[in-house]
Amino acid sequence: MPKPLCYALTLILATTLTVRAGQSQSKSQPDPNSQSDAMDCGEFDKPLTTHNYITNPDDILQPHHLQLTRPFASSGKLKLHICRADLRIKIQPDAKEISLAVTLDPQSGTHTVVDSIKTIRIQPDKGVINLNFSKAAHATVTVTLPMGLNSENEINLGYGNLDFNAAGSAGNREFNVGMGHMQLLLDSNKSYSKMEVNVALGTLHDHRSGGSDGHFTTSKDYAGTGSGSLEINVGMGSLDIRND
């Protein structure tokens, strides 16, 4: 069994999901302790005691809603860690900024957005966003940004559904879903120069012409005509690939 899938299976059986469901042969296995602080969803039901977030005057911060925008270069480096949410990643190729929108279920009661913010630290060339939502929050998160040729983006989702339209993006893009479903939209094979897909326990449905499906444990590599690499790792769940 390929190393990425062995690693993903180990994570599923562990108490803590680090959501790095797969790792390529060339990557060293990360220290679980270094990821547990970001991706241990079991701990996220406990109230956060520290919040690394400085508001701007233009930020909209309400009990169940957050909207903010920061300057961000197309060559920027983003690390996004989210425990539980429905996550949408949208690309604006010509943008010079990143925007973050968070909405919680109005019925989430005492759960508020500010309680879920662990880190929002964004500079023009790099950013870290770490949001820890409880089960009751039923959070929806939308991140809109440019992903240019020299960008590096690591997107980690512990539990939930992730939608990503890769059209107009480039650079090194890594998506890790611990448990849930990912919908990947592509501009044919022009969205990547190479793409690696790993599903440890679940299904892969490649709806593109000539695409093939996989069940239970699947690892596939694709060559494309675009720029940059695209790596998709799903620990337990499903991945659908379609052309935009």
Q: Enter the DSSP assignment of 40.
A: -
Of 16 and 225, the structure prediction assigns the larger pLDDT to 225
**CA-CA distance, 42 to 46, in Å (whole number)?**
8
Instruction: Look at residue 38 and tell me whether its pLDDT is greater than 50.
Output: no
Q: Map out the domains of the chain as residue ranges.
A: 1-22+176-244, 43-146
For the ranges 32-41, 153-162, 194-203, 204-213, the lowest mean pLDDT is seen at 32-41
pTM for this entry: 0.83
Average pLDDT of the chain? 84
Per the CB < 8 A criterion, the answer to whether 117 and 54 are in contact is no
Q: What is the pLDDT of residue 10?
A: 44
Q: Provide, rounded to the nearest whole percent, the portion of the chain with pLDDT above 90.
A: 69
Q: What is the pLDDT of residue 39?
A: 44
Q: What is the pLDDT of residue 189?
A: 92
Average pLDDT of the residues in 168-197? 96
Of 21-30, 72-81, 100-109, 213-222, which has the strongest mean pLDDT?
72-81
**CA-CA distance, 71 to 101, in Å (whole number)?**
15
**CA-CA distance, 156 to 23, in Å (whole number)?**
13
**CA-CA distance, 38 to 25, in Å (whole number)?**
24
